[in-house]
Amino acid sequence: MIKESIFIAKKRLELYEFLSFSFLNTPSEELLNLIKDNSSQFEELTEDKIDSIEEKDLDYFIQEYYDRFFVPTSKLFVPPHESAIRNKDIKNGKISYGKLDSQETFHVKACYEIVDFKIDQLNAFKPLKDNHYPDHIAFELAFLVYLANSELLALENGMSEKANKWRKLQKDFLVEHLSKWIEAYAILSKERGEGLYSYLTNISAKWIALDLEYLMGENQ
């Protein structure tokens, strides 16, 4: 039983690590190769294709990263923050995004502080680390990596009760935060234009829905 729990924890951690890595840093050949090597696995999560990965060079995807996350005037830009998406308003077909300093922002920050998760210690693109809002998609995914890794370490050290607490924290964070906005963000990203990051965001949304379903079942 414990071996099975460790196996599942490792697999869950691996996927969160991949997703977190995808958003924390500008695209690299390593990222593109990971996507190619795991394409069959990702097909189980989404029907979306990323054919351009074979057709475009790395600079193309780096530019997409900037346009998606750092250039508000870009047609591809959608604020990658929970508070902006959850508190958005649509009037006459026009989207008005929510303020970044919101109750969601502060609660995410509190979640981080409770378990001593520090954004400034992440291996991430410096302009992203200089972002002062903790509810960025990259940071929330990195937080899941932190929690999932803590669960795995507890399991490997025979501390099942402690592992259960770490797993509950994952479930709670998904319920209260990521599951509340990631799907809407994925839809908006794809509507703005398909590409590497609309693909990755969609995979993230599908995985989080599946993982939350798994965690809810584990806690029954």
Higher pLDDT, 49 or 74: 74
pLDDT at 161 over 90: yes
pLDDT digits (tens, 9 = 90+) for 183-206: 999 999 999 999 999 999 999 999
- Which pLDDT belongs to residue 38? 81
In the chain, domain spans: 2-218
Nearest to 177 by CA among 109, 78, 131: 109
pLDDT of residue 122: 96
Tell me if the domain spanning 2-218 has CATH number 1.10.3480.10. Answer: yes
Tell me the β-bridge partners of 90.
95
